[in-house]
Every structure is written in structure tokens, then in C-alpha cells.
Structure 1
Amino acid sequence: MTSDNTGRNLDADVPVIDLSAAPGERAAWDRPKFVVYLWAIAELVFVTNAWQISSGLRVKVLRAFGADIGENVVFRPRTRVKFPWKLHIGDRSWIGEGVWFHNQDHIHIGSDVVVSQETMLTTGSHAHRRDMALITKPITIEDGAWVTSRCMVLGGVTIGRSALVGPMTVVNEDIAPNTVVGKAPTRKLGSRFPSSREGI
């Protein structure tokens, strides 16, 4: 709690959005409820499943629910796809283990693209100053790009042709073709244990 010199609670003036009145996320479903629930079961059994079942079987199940996936795509275990009917992948792309397509809007991935382990692509956000209503924007990853492990790609961005995104990068703006981006390089912050010269 923050208070002034009279003891008045200054935090009481900060508004709080009543989440029970927030518009529901079902606006992004674009399919009947039974299809969304049936997909949740199929995703658990065939896509998110950690067993090393066939990548081809995973792709067939995704296509059966409306995903637009090209030829010779590798789709590894433990992946998640919110809505397969909003997923578009070109030919020969590789989707690494644990990738999460939180695609409340469309995600377009070109050909010969690599999305590495445990990367999250999320197209949704919320009207955080108004009523927390769902806001969605698509993601586009162009041919030949490589998004390496544990990145987060946010809605509304385009990753250009043959760009490379370094590990654990948050992508919140467009990346030009043939560009390498990443987190700031590792730097020393100090010593875990002080030396005798540094004192205690």
C-alpha cells in the first residue's frame, strides 16, 4: 500500500478492471463449440503428446482440423496449436519440440522456416486500459527465417525472409530480411563470492 504523509491510501485511486465483465475469448474461436472441444482432445492425443509418434500423423491431424500445411513439414512432439484453422505453414519447414502457437489470429509461416524448441508465438493481447477485451493481430514469418529456441513472437510482427532470431528474444517489432537479432550480450554483473580484496 502506498500512502501520503496524512496516511491516505493513494492506491485506492488506481482503477481496477472487473474481469467478470470482460468480453470472452470465444470471439476468436471461429468454429462451433463442439469443434473447439474436439480439437482439444485431438491436440492432447496426437500433437501435444510427448511420445515420438510420427510427425506425418501430427500433420494429418492438424490438416483434418483446417490447418494449411505444405509438404515435408516436420512437426515435433509437445507442440501446442490453439486453433489449427488459423495456422498456415509452407513446404519443408521444421517446428521444434514444445513450440506453442497461441494463434487466436492467423499465423503465416513460409517455406524452409525453422521455429525451434519452446518458442511461443502469440497473436492475442487485451485492451488493458478499457475492459480487457481480446485484441488480436496476425504473425508472418517469411521463407527461410530461423526463430531459435525459447523466443516469444508477438502479434502484429513480420519476420523477414532468411532473418535469424537469437535464443530467448522477444520479437515485438518487424525484422528486416537477412537480419540477425537477439538479446543483449551476456555481461558480468559482479562476483557471487567477494574476493579478499573486495571485502565482505
Structure 2
Amino acid sequence: MSNESTGQNLDAEVPVIDLSRAPGEHQAWDRPKLVVYLWGVFELLFVTNAWQISSGLRIKVLRMFGAEIGENVVFRPRTRVKFPWKLHIGDRSWIGEGVWFHNQDHIYVGHDVSISQESFLTTGSHAHRRDMALITRPIHIEPGVWITSRCMILGGVTIGRSALIGPSTVVNQDVEPNTILGSAPCVKLGTRFPSRNG
């Protein structure tokens, strides 16, 4: 038997989940279909829209759809919110441009929290060994936290009071209060151009 045919036999033994039979994400909606579709229109016009520069108007629209947002919150353009009725933000927090709340479960943001540009907070995953059914877990961000740019915060995580998350860090476990968490520092891999002396 050739190595190629052996490899094909091994591949055939690896299961593949039929995604057409996977339970749909509608279980996370918690609202009638009309409300979800209407939110999609309002999000595009007033929240994600880079031309809509008013933080106050953005917050009014989010509150209109059930978001709990405190006083003196700054909410920059190009942000996305999957379900505003599952978003809770405390007073004086800053939400940077391009932040994406993919909140199929609740996201709780304390007061005086800064979430910087392009960060992605997702509460959803899938039963990847079973049927790819949606699994959701909430995110808790305690007061005073700074999540710097392009971080990814995964469902089920609690970030403790006044912690700081460094740029481009993936947070998949709880973070203790007053902790600075970051990905590995950059390392020199070599030189771009060879030396002319060598």
C-alpha cells in the first residue's frame, strides 16, 4: 500500500461535523427577529458609521435598544455591538474607535475603563467536538481597567480592577487586579540587508 493511499485512509477516519445540522445562533438573540434586524440598520447608520461623529447620539441609539451605559461615557466611531441589550458600561468609560463587542452573552464593563482601538471582545464559541452548537459565557471587566489596542478578550474571562492589557494580547483566562498582562516581547530575528563588509 502506498504512503499516499495510507494517508487517504487516515484522513477518512477523521470526523467532520456537518455544519448544515449545527444548531443556529438565533438562540442568543433574546429578542424578536424584527428587533434584531432593526438593530442591524441602526447600528450601521449610527454606531459603526465612521461619518457619524457624535458620541452622544451613538449612546442614545444604543440605549434605545436596551444597552445600559453610564454617564460621561465616550463611544467612538466604527464600533460594533452585536446585541446592545447585552451590553453594560459604567460611568466615564472610553470605548475606542473600531472596538467590536461580539456579545452573544452579556459584557459587563465597569466605570473608568478604557478599551482602545480595534479591540475585540467575544462571548461566543462552539461545541467543536460535538455539533458546533453555540456556547456563550459572559465577560466581566472591573473598574479602572485599560485594554490597549487590538486585544482579544474571550468569553468567561474576568479582568480585575485596574489591570492593564498590553497591545495585541489574547486574554483567555482571568486577570488579577492591578496586573499588567501582555504577549511575549518582540525579538530580533536577523538583519534586513546583508552587511557590505562581509
Please give the range of the TM-score, normalised by the shorter of the 2 chains: over 0.9
**TM-score in terms of structure 2 length:** 0.95
Please give the residue correspondences for 1:151-162 in structure 2 after superposition, counting only pairs within 5 Å.
151-162=151-162
1:170 maps to a residue whose letter is V
**Number of residues paired by the alignment?**
196
Is the CA contact 2:146–2:163 (under 8 Å) kept in the aligned structure 1?
Answer: yes
Task: Note the C-alpha offset of 1:197.
Answer: 7.4
* CA distance in structure 2 between the aligned counterparts of 1:12 and 1:142, rounded to whole angstroms: 47
1:53 maps to a residue whose letter is I
Task: Note the C-alpha offset of 1:183.
Answer: 1.0
* CA distance in structure 2 between the aligned counterparts of 1:5 and 1:52, rounded to whole angstroms: 59
Residue 163 of structure 1 is matched in structure 2 by: 163
Please give the residue correspondences for 1:93-132 in structure 2 after superposition, counting only pairs within 5 Å.
93-132=93-132
* CA distance in structure 1 between the aligned counterparts of 2:57 and 2:124, rounded to whole angstroms: 28
2:172 maps to a residue whose letter is N
Alpha-carbon distance change, 190 to 59 in structure 1, aligned in 2, over 3 angstroms: same
2:32 maps to a residue whose letter is P
Tell me the percent identity. Answer: 77
Task: Note the C-alpha offset of 1:192.
Answer: 2.8
Task: Note the C-alpha offset of 1:194.
Answer: 3.4
Please give the residue correspondences for 1:49-60 in structure 2 after superposition, counting only pairs within 5 Å.
49-60=49-60
Residue 7 of structure 1 is matched in structure 2 by: 5
Alpha-carbon distance change, 133 to 95 in structure 1, aligned in 2, over 3 angstroms: same
* CA distance in structure 2 between the aligned counterparts of 1:190 and 1:115, rounded to whole angstroms: 34
Is the CA contact 2:46–2:52 (under 8 Å) kept in the aligned structure 1?
Answer: no
1:78 maps to a residue whose letter is R
Task: Note the C-alpha offset of 1:4.
Answer: 6.2
